[in-house]
Amino acid sequence: MTHPTPPLAQLVRSVVDAHRHLRAPLLVVLQAIQDRAGYIDEEVIPLLATELNLSRADVHGVVTFYRDFRREPPGRTTIRVCRAEACQSVGAEQLVAALERALGVKVGQTADDGSTTFDQVFCLGNCALGPSAQINGQVHGRLDTDRVLAIVQAQAS
Ligand code: FES
* pLDDT score for 134: 96
* pLDDT score for 67: 82
Which residues sit with their C-beta closer than 6 Å to ligand 1? 82, 84-87, 123-127, 130, 132
Tell me, yes or no, whether 119 lies in a domain: yes
Same domain, 83 and 105: yes
Tell me, yes or no, whether 108 lies in a domain: yes
Is residue 66 helix, strand or coil?
Answer: coil
Tell me, yes or no, whether 86 lies in a domain: yes
Domain hosting residue 12, numbered range:
6-65
* pLDDT score for 18: 96
Is residue 153 predicted with pLDDT exceeding 80? Answer: yes
Same domain, 21 and 89: no
Write the CATH number for 107.
3.40.30.10
How big, in percent rounded to 5, are the helix, strand and coil portions of the chain? 50, 15, 40
Task: Give the number of other Cβ atoms within 10 Å of residue 80's Cβ.
Answer: 21
If you ran DSSP here, which 8-state letter would residue 70 be given? -
Q: What is the pLDDT of residues 64-115, one digit of tens each?
A: 999 889 998 999 999 999 999 999 999 999 999 999 999 999 998 999 999 9
User: For residues 88 and 99, what is the distance between their CA atoms, to the nearest angstrom?
Assistant: 15
Is residue 56 predicted with pLDDT exceeding 90? Answer: yes
User: 53 C-alpha to center of ligand 1: Å?
Assistant: 37
Same domain, 151 and 110: yes
* pLDDT score for 1: 62
- 38-65: average pLDDT: 95
Same domain, 81 and 147: yes
Nearest atom within ligand 1 for CA of residue 124: 3
Q: What is the pLDDT of residues 113-150, one digit of tens each?
A: 999 999 999 999 999 999 999 999 899 999 999 999 99
Choosing from 123, 140, 143 the residue with most ligand 1 atoms within 8 A of its CB, the one to mutate for a pocket test is: 123
Q: Where does the chain have alpha helices with state H?
A: 6-19, 26-37, 44-52, 56-65, 85-88, 92-103, 145-156
Same domain, 53 and 98: no
Does the annotation flag 87 for ligand binding? yes
* pLDDT score for 77: 94
Same domain, 57 and 83: no
The amino acid sitting at 126 is N
